[in-house]
Amino acid sequence: MTDKLSKVDEEIERLTTFLLQQQKDDGSWHFCFENGIVIDAYMIILFRVLNLQNETLIRQLHDRILDAQQREGCWQLYKDEEAGNLSTSVEAYYALLYSGYSKITDEPILRAKRYILSKGGLGKVTSILTRVILAATGQSKWPLAISSIPLEVLLFPSYFPINYFEFSGYSRVHLTPMLIMADRRFSITTAHAPDLSDLIETRLDTDESPTRGYQEMQDVIQMGLSRLLGSPHYIHEAAKNKAEQYMLQRIESDGTFYSYASSTILMVFALLALDYDRQHPIITQAIQGLTALQCQSNHNTTIQNSPSTIWDTALISYALQEAQIPVDHKGIKHAASYLLDKQHHKPADWSIHNPDTVPGGWGFSETNTINPDVDDTTAALRAIRRLSTIHPSYLESWNRGLNWVLSMQNNDGGWPAFEKNTNKEMLTWLAIDGAKSAAIDPSEADLTGRTLEFLGNFAGLNTQHEFIKRGTKWLIQHQEKDGSWYGRWGVCYIYGTWASLTGLQAVGLPINHDTLQKGVKWLLSIQNSDGGWGESCHSDRLLQYVPLGESTPSQTAWALDAIIAVQPEPTAAVEKGLQRLITSIHEEDWKTSYPTGAGLPGNFYSNYHSYQYIWPLLTLSHYRKKYGQG
């Protein structure tokens, strides 16, 4: 036991030293938030459409996309997506040609073309973002899923079954520019644009067939249109103006729309559709904001969809404190000061469903001032908890943040990500790939579990409190039959089960409770032979656990941390997992960079470069804290 603890101490010391060395002068940490090649491809296309001559960046993005091509000619969202991803491959093919640095006769392009055609061509692309970019640049017709939604839905009153603020904030900021473009059947091209018409497989039926649910939603929309007062022209102009203002009012100080690259790129195209000049200051500032989102990944340049600066800073500060770095350490104090400055102070869209609540949340990115979320807020509160017991300024911040988190609990007892009680099933009937995950913001097991963990371990609350009891009940009711939980924002069942078990344990559920024991039994049943854990991104799409076949550092840390929280003594399985975790810290291969962050099932996954340090450090610290006295 002594040798093991000595090794644990050694690794904790090494990780804490490394992380403290990485801290920026302002107290923050900046690790890359890598999202595949999708944003890189859109940036190249946008730059060429706007005739922007940033050749260094365009060439860097081109080279990164080309470097990610597989031998079969395709591109993947994750390594074990063996058949490749058609939407991603079309985006890559289009961007490589539009950059001008690849030619139609180049061997990689020819291989990509063969792959795309073998999968049915452009007509079989499912990603709505891909289809919209293709339509906006004249390569395909506007998809029915978007063009059949009238702009007038923005005018529907709040009491109507479908109104704009029943959509999730994430879907609204992407849907708004899409609807503006589709309304005008907008497309823009240039003299040097590639011609993708040879990727259209005419032998295949590509007509869209709306589902019954989608048609029912269309009937509701038509009912809503009939209740709007005024001439059709007047109503339409009012809707167009509202959509335009919706975007303009949500531009952050760096020029990005809601701090997302994806929505910002769509906004620029939408502004062009509204006849904004390409040199308009809003477009220029948006381009500057997008350009600033670049980071280095494996010696390549990529564009982050939204830098994870607040998330990383909060988690790292918390992990360092769990590793016994004292609260008066300058690194902890600098991080806390940084986070204090980034707490939100103004009501925004979240307050529509949560009125009369004082702002107090945190967002994901440092330029984000209007879109706080529950997960980032509890992370920041963990980081400042100890200081809040010493300094009045941090206590005031803590109280506002805690109050905001409690106010965000859904009526069903769980917690959402961004906006409470936005869970109308009808909105998932949109004929959009991923609509079930993107259109609404329901209670999720990972968010509910992590919130309960925070409330139990850091706010001293337990199941004697009614709102904790409701959250606990929601989690217990949403456990899968096999003992796992689905996690929305991480991959996937390991993530959800870790969050749920640690949350339930923190608020006082007895460790012999059947729910906890079933969860631990499931985790032990999927432990790899090497002692670690690893789950495929396929789980996210199939909604059932799919093993990766290898162990990843973050997933091993999550599983081990959950088991440590519930088991009073270290078992052979825990010791084997610990050994695998320590070994993984020293490795640098595809398992280290495998995406374990989830965004949109089947379309968007993230590799947090910070995760290979944060979660192992946290788990090692919890192991030492619980078992170190033995």
Q: Which residues are catalytic?
A: 375
Residue 603's Cβ-side half-sphere holds a number of Cα atoms within 13 Å equal to 20
Give the whole-angstrom CA distance, residue 247 versus residue 180.
11
CA 328, 329, 333, 339 dihedral sign is negative
Give the whole-angstrom CA distance, residue 383 versus residue 318.
5
Q: Which residues contact 514 (CB under 8 A, 6 or more apart)?
A: none
Give the whole-angstrom CA distance, residue 421 versus residue 412.
8
Element containing residue 171 per DSSP (H, E):
helix 169-183
- Say if residues 259 and 293 touch (Cβ distance below 8 Å): no
Element containing residue 34 per DSSP (H, E):
strand 33-34
Of all residues in the chain, what percent are helix, strand and coil, respectively (each to 5)?
55, 5, 40
Which residues share a beta bridge with 287? none
- Say if residues 134 and 196 touch (Cβ distance below 8 Å): yes
Give the whole-angstrom CA distance, residue 149 versus residue 156.
13
Cis peptide before 492 (omega within 30 of 0): yes
Q: One-letter amino acid identity for 253?
A: S
Q: Which two tokens stand for residue 543?
A: 């909604």
